[in-house]
Amino acid sequence: MKIGIIGCGRWGSFHAWYASRIGHEVILYGRAGSKNMQRLETDGANEYLKLPAAVRLTKSLDDVLNFAEIIIISVGAQNLRGVVKEINFKTNNNLSDKVFVLCMKGIERGTGKRLTEVFVEENETAREKIAVWVGPGHVQDFLREIPNCMVMSSSNENLTRQLVEIFKSPLIRFYYGKDLIGTEVGAAAKNVIGIAAGMLDGLNFSSLKGALMARGTAELSRLVEALGGDKMTVYGLSHLGDYEATLFSAHSHNRRFGEEFVQNEKFDKLAEGVETVAALIQLAKSVNVELPISESIYRIIYENCNPKDELTKLFLRSTKEE
Which residues are catalytically annotated?
190
Contact 276, 188 (CB under 8 A): yes
Q: Cα(163)–Cα(176) distance, rounded to whole angstroms?
A: 10
Task: List the strands of the sheet with 172-177, edge to edge.
Answer: 56-58, 25-29, 2-6, 70-73, 99-102, 130-134, 148-154, 172-177
> Hey, what amino acid is at 252?
S
Entry field: residues in the chain:
322
Q: Cα(259)–Cα(297) distance, rounded to whole angstroms?
A: 12
Count of alpha carbons within 13 Å of 268, Cβ hemisphere only? 0
Greatest Cα pair distance in the chain = 60
Q: Cα(90)–Cα(61) distance, rounded to whole angstroms?
A: 8
DSSP reduced 3-state for 306 = coil
Task: Give residues with Cβ within 8 angstroms of 162, minimum separation 6.
Answer: none
Contact 101, 72 (CB under 8 A): yes
CA end-to-end span of the chain, whole Å? 49
Q: Cα(291)–Cα(280) distance, rounded to whole angstroms?
A: 9
Task: Give residues with Cβ within 8 angstroms of 269, minimum separation 6.
Answer: 253, 256, 257
